[in-house]
C-alpha cells in the first residue's frame, strides 16, 4: 500500500482556522491537481467538511506535502514567501471565508462511498470529518498570480 503522507505518519500539521488536522496525499494527478485525504472539525458536519476543504487548500498554498520518511517535497507549496499569510491577510481572510473563493479550487469528485469518516467529541461539542478532496493546484496557482500574491 503506497501512500504519500504529509510529514511523518501521526504528525499533525497546523492548519488555517482549525487547531490541527491530519492529512496525506492519495495521488498527484498528471494535470498537477492533488488528491488528499484530510480532516476538519466544526460544530456541525457541514462546518467540519468545509474546514477539511479549507485545510487542504491552505496546505497546498503554504506548506506543501512530503512523502513519509523522506525530506523531499512531493507537492511544493505555491507560496515560499516568509509570513505571506500575514502580509496578505486581508486577501486570505476573504479567500478562506465561508463560501469564499477557495471553494472554486477544491472538489469532492474523488471521494468514494465509505471513505469519509465522522467522529464526535461530546466534551467539546465538535464533529470531526475525514474525507478525500482534490485541490486544483494549477488553477489555484494561476488565480494567485492574477491577484498579485505570487510573482512569476
Span 22-61, pLDDT tens digits = 778 888 888 989 988 888 888 888 888 899 999 999 999 9
Residue 34 pairs with which residues in a beta bridge?
A: 28, 135
Concatenating the DSSP letter of every residue in 111-134 gives --TT--EEEEETTTTEEEEEEEEE
Residue whose C-alpha is closest to residue 100's, from 85, 115, 113, 90: 90
Model-level pTM?
A: 0.77
Print burial letters for 60-93: b (CB count within 10 Å at least 16), e (below 16).
bbbbbbbbbeeeeebbeebbeeeebbeebeebbe
* Under 8 Å between Cβ of 23 and 35: no
User: Is pLDDT of 12 > 80?
Assistant: no
Handedness of CA 88, 91, 97, 103 (dihedral sign): negative
| pLDDT band of 110, cuts 50, 70, 90 | low
Amino acid at each position: 500500500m503506497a501512500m504519500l503522507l504529509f510529514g511523518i505518519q501521526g504528525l499533525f500539521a497546523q492548519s488555517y482556522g482549525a487547531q490541527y488536522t491530519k492529512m496525506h496525499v492519495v495521488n498527484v494527478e498528471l494535470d498537477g491537481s492533488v488528491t488528499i485525504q484530510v480532516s476538519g472539525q466544526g460544530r456541525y458536519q457541514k462546518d467540519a467538511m468545509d474546514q477539511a476543504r479549507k485545510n487542504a487548500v491552505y496546505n497546498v498554498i503554504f506548506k506543501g506535502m512530503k512523502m513519509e520518511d523522506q525530506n523531499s517535497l512531493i507537492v511544493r507549496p505555491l507560496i515560499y514567501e516568509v509570513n505571506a499569510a500575514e502580509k496578505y491577510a486581508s486577501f486570505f481572510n476573504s479567500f478562506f471565508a465561508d463560501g469564499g473563493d477557495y471553494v472554486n479550487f477544491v472538489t469532492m469528485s474523488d471521494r468514494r462511498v465509505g471513505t469519509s469518516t465522522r467522529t464526535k467529541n461530546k466534551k467539546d461539542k465538535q464533529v470531526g470529518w475525514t474525507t478525500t478532496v482534490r485541490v486544483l493546484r494549477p488553477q489555484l496557482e494561476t488565480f494567485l498570480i492574477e491577484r498579485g500574491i505570487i510573482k512569476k
